[in-house]
């Protein structure tokens, strides 16, 4: 599998992850002008190429950077690929129609999988009955989740701070979500950020997929916002047995977690948390 050139936070010819602006803030009864940094938000068009033809799959708004990981994770979450071997190459578009920075906003994934797999129905909680969504996902199949790892409460309650420590873009903008993979000792394996929390998860999973770290059966996924149905779905596709969130979980997220046997932990703040499902993977101490 070949992966096209990736961008750093300040890539040559592409958009950075943050941008300098001037703002006014009240100070001592007056408005004072000062510099500030914004999280960059730009569209990413995901194209697909197979021996059967080419198509544009979607356009997502994202923070530039780690785009190949984002695409790989998204393809896995959508069930379009089942593993890294299905991917021949992911690269930025070199079409002459996309000049300047725009060439960094179009990514093409060349797949080895047959065209019939690309037509698989995409699963989403949007616009359909929740129970029907879960049944459809169950029928489509998930990799079985492992019984472990088991996390001590003392480790779980430290995970949001460990995630925050790795969110460099958040530290200067306060405007992006974060996702991290951690092991049962609390060691952070990888952190990724994005203006869209789902994209942050896709980048984390995509990193693991492209770097030979699948399956993720001995890890937990930590997210900075609420735990939604789609985040549980993405974690389940990647074989992650535990999701930990700073905020709460939605009802459909909990229902799906129970179906697939996932541990869901929310409201991790200070020394407290709420374990919605899969409490066997959480141990005192």
pLDDT in tens, 152-161: 999 999 999 9
Told to judge if 126 belongs to the known catalytic residues of this protein, a careful annotator would answer yes
Mean pLDDT within 186-196 = 97
Supply the pLDDT for residue 95. Answer: 65
Nearest of 160, 138, 156, 131 to residue 279 by alpha carbon: 156
Q: Residue 177 pairs with which residues in a beta bridge?
A: 194
The residue from 21, 97, 126, 139 that is catalytic is 126
Q: What is the mean pLDDT of residues 251-268?
A: 95
Question: CA–CA distance from 263 to each of 68, 97, 123, 271, 282 (Å)?
Answer: 29, 47, 21, 18, 8
Angle between helices 130-140 and 251-260 (to 10 degrees): 30
Residue of 65, 43, 69 lying closest to 56 (CA atoms): 43
pLDDT of 24 over the 50 cut = yes
For the chain, what is the mean pLDDT? Answer: 86
pLDDT at 107 over 90: yes
pLDDT at 124 over 50: no
The whole-angstrom separation of Cα 155 and Cα 109 is 38
Average pLDDT over residues 212-223: 95
Q: Which residue has the higher pLDDT, 97 or 234?
A: 234
Considering only 73-82, 106-115, 130-139, which range has the smallest mean pLDDT? 130-139
Q: Please report, rounded to a whole number, the percentage of residues in the chain having pLDDT higher than 70.
A: 82
Rounded Cα gap, residues 216 and 238, in angstroms: 7
Q: Is the pLDDT reported for residue 239 higher than 90?
A: yes
List, in sequence order, the alpha helices (H) in 125-217. 130-140, 153-156, 159-165, 168-173, 197-210
**What span, in angstroms and rounded, lies between the C-alpha atoms of 46 and 111?**
13
pLDDT band at 205 (very low <50, low <70, confident <90, very high): very high
The answer to whether the CB of 70 falls within 8 A of the CB of 57 is: no
Burial category of 56 from C-beta neighbours within 10 Å (exposed 0-12, middle 13-18, buried 19 and up): exposed
Angle 229-237/67-77 helices, nearest 10 degrees?
90
Indicate the range of 70-74, 121-125, 168-172, 262-266 predicted with least confidence: 121-125
Q: Quick one: CATH architecture of 130-283?
A: 3-Layer(aba) Sandwich (3.40)
Residues 6+ apart with CB under 8 A from 45: 56, 58, 59, 93, 105, 106, 107
Model confidence at 100, pLDDT cuts 50, 70, 90, reads: low
Burial 102-138 (b: 16+ CB within 10 A, else e): bbbbbbbbbbebeeeebeeeebebeeeeeeebbeebe
Q: Which residues of the chain are in CATH 3.40.140.10 domains?
A: 130-283
Helix (H) or strand (E) holding 68: helix 67-77
Per-residue model confidence as pLDDT tens digits over 127-147: 345 666 677 666 666 778 999
pLDDT at 79: 87
pLDDT at 2 over 50: no
């Amino acid at each position: 599998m070949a992966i096209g050139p990736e961008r750093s936070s300040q890539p040559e010819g592409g958009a950075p992850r943050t941008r300098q602006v001037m703002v006014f803030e009240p100070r001592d009864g007056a408005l004072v002008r000062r510099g500030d940094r914004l999280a960059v938000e730009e569209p990413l068009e995901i194209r697909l190429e197979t021996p059967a033809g080419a198509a544009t799959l979607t356009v997502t708004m994202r923070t530039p950077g780690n785009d190949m990981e984002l695409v790989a994770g998204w393809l896995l979450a959508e069930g379009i690929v089942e593993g890294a071997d299905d991917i021949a190459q992911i690269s930025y578009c070199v079409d002459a129609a996309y000049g300047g920075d725009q060439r960094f906003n179009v990514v093409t994934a060349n797949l080895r999988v047959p065209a019939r797999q690309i037509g698989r129905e995409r699963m989403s909680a949007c616009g359909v009955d929740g129970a029907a969504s879960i049944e459809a996902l169950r029928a489509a199949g998930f990799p079985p989740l492992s019984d472990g790892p088991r996390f001590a409460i003392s480790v779980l309650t430290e995970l949001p701070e460990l995630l925050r420590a790795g969110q460099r873009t958040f530290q200067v903008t306060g405007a992006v979500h974060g996702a991290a993979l951690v092991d049962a000792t609390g060691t952070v394996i990888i952190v990724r950020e994005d203006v869209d929390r789902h994209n942050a998860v896709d980048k984390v999973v995509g990193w693991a997929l492209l770097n030979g770290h699948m399956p993720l059966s001995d890890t937990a996924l930590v997210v900075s916002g609420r735990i939604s149905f789609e985040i549980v779905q993405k974690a389940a596709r990647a074989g992650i047995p535990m999701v930990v969130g700073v905020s709460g979980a939605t009802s459909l997220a909990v229902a799906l977690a129970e179906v697939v046997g996932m541990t869901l932990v929310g409201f991790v703040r200070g020394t407290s948390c709420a374990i919605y499902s899969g409490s066997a993977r959480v141990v005192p101490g």
